[in-house]
Chains A and B, each alone.
Chain A
Amino acid sequence: MPSSIPAFATRSAIARAVRRKPLGAFGFVVVVAMLVMAAFAEQIAPHAYDETIRGARMKPPSAAHWLGTDNLGRDIWSRIVYGARVSVMVGFATVLLGLAVATAVGVSTGYLGGAYDLCVQRVVDAWMSFPYLVIILSVMAVLGPGLLNVVLSLALIIAASSSRVIRGATLSVAEQTYVEAARAAGCRHSRVIVRHILPNVMPTIIVLATISLGGVILAESALSFLGFGVPPPFPSWGAMLSGSGRTYMFRAPWMAVWPGVAISLAVFAFNMLGDALRDVLDPRLRGT
């Protein structure tokens, strides 16, 4: 976007976006809030994530502890603020890695076609015929628990399913006459891909990234819930709902409520933002 646009034009553009896509704008605000929470957790959280506050075991929400405290006397709001860090880190790392692989596979199979495409597509088929949680857990069983392994196994899923969509987008771009013209003018395949295919597939990739982020955060929380995520005491929203705390939830229900609200809100926001972006950038993806 050129920087010479007057400020009032940008402001009215924002106002128009909010009016036309109110839910998308809401999603955007929540996503920004989550990024700020993750980046400045030390400044925002009133307590450290592992700080045991004396005489504050399982206290209900109050002015001192907005969301209450858990069975070890830790401030739940502070742990949720720090927990955003895990969700954001895993989310972005997974989507970056997964989409990088998906783009390489999707663009190359879509552009080159032939036997290479056929073979790769059959492997993608087979990979996608597993339920995603089953394949992730099986990979985790091989790799062992840990944050990096969560990212690796989730990225595998994102790569397989997104490569299919990116391949489709590549197919339709590769048919365009400007691609034919570029080839006729003597461009190498590598130049056609980098200068003509990739820029036109980019909107699809951006939309995929936003929509995948919600799914990845949801999947990360499920893995953490099952005990495969970041090791304690560092908080992740999924892990806060599992483990030793579960037996205390009957006496301190706020322990069970807030982490789930945080997960749902974050995923809801990414989904809303993704939906709005898709309508604007890539209407072809509607219904996926």
Chain B
Amino acid sequence: MLQRYLAKRLLVAIPSFLIASLIVFALPRLIPGDVVSLMLEEKAYARDLAELRAKLGLDRPLHVQYVEWFGHVVRGDLGESLWTRRPVLEELARRLPVTLELGACSLVFAVIIALPIGVLSAIRQDTLSDYLARSVAILGLSVPGFWLATLVIVLPAIWWGWRPVAEYVEFGRDPIGHCVQFLLPGLILGIAAGAALMRLTRAMLLEVLRQDYVRTAWAKGLRERAVVFKHSLKNAFIPVLSVLGIQIAQIFGGTVIIETIFGLPGMGRFLFEAITQRDYPVIQGVNLVVVGAIVLVNLTVDALYAVIDPRIRY
């Protein structure tokens, strides 16, 4: 049963990945013609217009381009950077681990912030601590991450003369320093995701706490801990899980800014540099990997649903 459910989810995931790959493919094809000549003049990406068009793959019919491009992608060839002439896949492989570590770190912070506060806010609904938690959560959604990052770099430097390390520390050179450098950027990225998760945890738990079986659990004389954790939280968790999948995508979006500010050589910064240099093969490559990763995350979330809740079998 579980296998069939997963196979079905996979079948749904494939078309959405294909459509997304079409979007990734189409983006550089929408560049206005004068931008291509601008790339030729300013960035000196090629000797003449015809060569640049050939490099960008703009010189053949659209459907031929797509089939050819997708054929290369399937074989692991994402083309090469116009700027550095290095294969995009190779560059991505070097940067992906940095972004994964940062993302994992911020996800941990998000969950640590969201779950306890969300649960507390729901079981103490309309008390002072509930109002406080909700206001802080909306504040967390309102404060821009790049501002927090700027403050974290500027203010300690003024007050205590302390600055976060501006240079990336490799794991092999200094394992502890390597992990520590992810804490601050991870926390900043995790705040917004945590705030969104907290609001949802609260809303869903409130919904569940109104159910009949929860009243029955209270009537049986169970302790609050048992009612909340054993009977309610598990049922409130499914929508929270699906939003967690969306938050993972948004966390990646945030890495574009945070990696740039903290000088981490990850995918986000790579994408930002490629965009400022109009390096389309890199932009395509990063986008494709991101979409693929997000489709995978959503599949995992679907699989986790089935594990948490045996009722879910479509």
Chain A contacts to B: CB under 8 angstroms: 23, 122-123, 125-127, 129-134, 137-142, 144, 214, 218, 221-222, 225-227, 238, 241-242, 246, 249-250, 253, 256-257, 259-260, 263-265, 267-268, 271-272, 275, 286-287
| Residue pair A253, B154 in contact (C-beta under 8 Å) | yes
Residue in A122, A253, A263 whose beta carbon sits within 8 Å of that of B147 in the complex: A263
| Residue pair A134, B154 in contact (C-beta under 8 Å) | no
CA distance in complex: A131, B138 (Å):
21
- Nearest-CB distance from A216 to chain B (Å)? 13
- Nearest-CB distance from B245 to chain A (Å)? 10
| Residues in A neighbouring B151, C-beta threshold 8 A | 256-257, 260
| Residue pair B142, A129 in contact (C-beta under 8 Å) | no
| Residue pair B144, A131 in contact (C-beta under 8 Å) | no
* Residue of B with least CB distance to A249: B154
B227 at interface, CB cutoff 8 A: no
- Nearest-CB distance from A226 to chain B (Å)? 7
| B interface: dominant SS | helix
Number of A-B contacts (CB under 8 A): 147
Interface residues of B in 154-204 (CB under 8 A from A): 154-155, 157-158, 199-200, 203-204
| Residue pair B20, A250 in contact (C-beta under 8 Å) | no
| Residue pair A137, B272 in contact (C-beta under 8 Å) | yes
Contacts A126-B16, A249-B150, A256-B154 given: A226-B257 contact, CB under 8 Å? Answer: yes
| A interface: dominant SS | helix
| Residues in B neighbouring A134, C-beta threshold 8 A | 252-253, 256, 271, 286-287, 290
Residue in B27, B144, B256, B271 whose beta carbon sits within 8 Å of that of A263 in the complex: B144
CA distance in complex: A250, B152 (Å):
11
The interface size bin for chain B is: 35 or more
Encoded as 1 (CB less than 8 Å from any A CB) or 0, chain B from 2 to 20 comes to 0000000000000111011
* Residue of B with least CB distance to A133: B253
| Residue pair B254, A133 in contact (C-beta under 8 Å) | yes
* Residue of A with least CB distance to B151: A256
* Residue of B with least CB distance to A129: B294
| Residue pair B158, A253 in contact (C-beta under 8 Å) | yes
Contacts A241-B147, A249-B154, A253-B158 given: A137-B142 contact, CB under 8 Å? Answer: no
26 A-B residue pairs with Cβ-Cβ distance under 8 Å, sorted by A, are A127-B20, A127-B23, A130-B20, A131-B249, A131-B250, A133-B257, A134-B271, A134-B287, A137-B275, A141-B283, A142-B30, A142-B35, A214-B142, A218-B144, A222-B145, A222-B257, A226-B260, A238-B146, A249-B154, A256-B147, A256-B151, A260-B144, A260-B148, A260-B151, A263-B142, A287-B239
| Residues in B neighbouring A271, C-beta threshold 8 A | 138, 141-142
* Residue of B with least CB distance to A263: B144
* Residue of A with least CB distance to B135: A23
